[in-house]
Amino acid sequence: MWVKDFLKSQDWQFTQVEGKNILIFGIGGTNGSFQCIVDLMEADKRLDFYSVCAANTPANKSQAMLQLINGLNYRLFFGNFEMDLQEGEIRLRTSISFKHIELNEKFIEELVMSNIITMDKSLPAIVGLMYKDYSVDKALEIFNQD
């Protein structure tokens, strides 16, 4: 599996869910830590990669967080943020259908690294909205600083 080869090349430790093509591992980025999930659906010829924020959105911040992730998604080239309305979980998903292409390690690297970099870059805005009482505008301003 190309995904395992890439993760091993990065010296990242991962766990495979028993009986499934799902790999789970943690990442410590510049702006925080988060969990990553690789879901390879070979029958459907699809690969989904998720970065999951370590903190869940407090219920009283749900509407503001929905506005923030909408603003973040509008700026993204690749992937999208999602929020579980029940739990407040925030994740970034990148996925690809490989029905008509051949997966290789370089392709996997681009998919995985673009996701990880985007989540890490977004964490100050997301966590700022959750815990620092940032407004949506302030959080988007933080995201746009580079």
Domain positions in the chain: 2-140
Q: What is the DSSP letter of 20?
A: S
pLDDT in tens, 46-105: 999 999 999 999 999 999 999 999 999 999 989 999 999 999 999 999 998 888 888 788
C-alpha to C-alpha distance for 72 and 143, rounded to whole angstroms: 8
pTM of model > 0.95: no
Residue with tokens 């911040």: 61
Confidence of residue 34 (pLDDT cuts 50, 70, 90): very high
CATH of span 2-140:
3.30.1460.70
Interhelix angle 136-144/105-131, rounded to 10 degrees, is 140
pLDDT of residue 104: 81
Mean pLDDT (the chain) is 93
Q: Cα–Cα distance between 6 and 71 in angstroms, integer?
A: 31
User: For position 146, what pLDDT does the model report?
Assistant: 62
The DSSP string of 40-79 is EETTTTEEEEEEEESSPPPGGGHHHHHHHHHHHHHH-SS-
